[in-house]
Structure 1
Amino acid sequence: MGNAAITYFKSFANKLPGRSNRRENRKRINADILRSAYEVVIQHKQDSIQQYKSAVGVLSAQFKHKESSLSNLESEINDLNKKMDSAKGKSESVSAELKNAGKTEEEIAEHPDTIRCEKACQDFQNTLDDKTARLSTIQIELKSIEDKIESFKLRIVQHQRDINRIQQEQTETINELINRRQDKEIADILAGLG
């Protein structure tokens, strides 16, 4: 009976002006602190999303630049192939003319026109080899950039899912905290009445 009387007086004292406000303030402060902690985590995730979006933007610009370089390089390679075919055709026609003129294979090989045509063919081939190697490098770089963009996009989606999950968890946890406190208050009041 003594405990019941003490509890009754405590519940009565809690109803006095100022006491209940302090209790409500304490509940609100605890919920606000919890809410703030969740907001910090959410803000961190949102900042990460912004960083990934910025990175995707930069990588997309690099991708477009490399793609343009690739297109130009492919065009240059096509032009070089045409020039090389033309130089080979010229070399063959010069050789045929010299052969028809009765020149020997040795004289044809040492003739200035033949040497010039073969040198042009070799120069075109060297340039073509360099450009083809550069083309392969750019294709590898494009694939790497594309993979990074996809990876960052996946991370953005994952962070957005995390934010949604955290927001839901935040709401549930705060509601649970408030409900537990209310249940405790009700239990205290009922204990005081009993």
Structure 2
Amino acid sequence: MDQERPIPPASPTSPAQPALNPTLRRNIDALVARRKAVQQRAGPEEKAAAAISRFAGSMTFVYIHLVLFGGWILINLGLVPFLPAWDPTLVVLAMIASVEAIFLSTFVLINQNRMAAEDDARADLDLQVNLLNEHETTRLITMVDAIARHLQVERPEDPEVEELKRDVAPDAVMEEIAARNGQA
């Protein structure tokens, strides 16, 4: 049964929580839909790698290994008298653990590569939105300054306003950062 949690009434020390506005709801819906679409487009190998990585990163995985490896060690050290040891040097256990580590690290790397690609796409979107915001802000500053001049509003001479009216050149900024980091 899917119920919305009631919003507790506001106390004198905390403001009431506003409901989500339609634009925010639309943006959240778009993000969730996008994430689901990306997950559905993933191939069976990526889905398997993600599922294995999720399971390997769980406490259930740890508990299973504690039981299996702990039992293996106890039996093969002769601490369980009614079961015969089959790997007294624990070489087979070490080999199994090594092979498992190889596969688990591969699955984790596959999953990390997929997540890195998603992060790159989000970073590109963030950059585009930030550049658009910067452009719009620059235009607004230019318009407000023009309106102030047109209305003959007295304002102190501020060199920073002139600087803010200039568009940012992202390539130049990235080149300068690279040069200062010694990567040019």
- Would you call these one fold, judging by a TM-score over 0.5? no
More helix by share: 1
Larger radius of gyration: 1
Taking structure 2 as the reference length, the TM-score comes to 0.35
Taking structure 1 as the reference length, the TM-score comes to 0.33
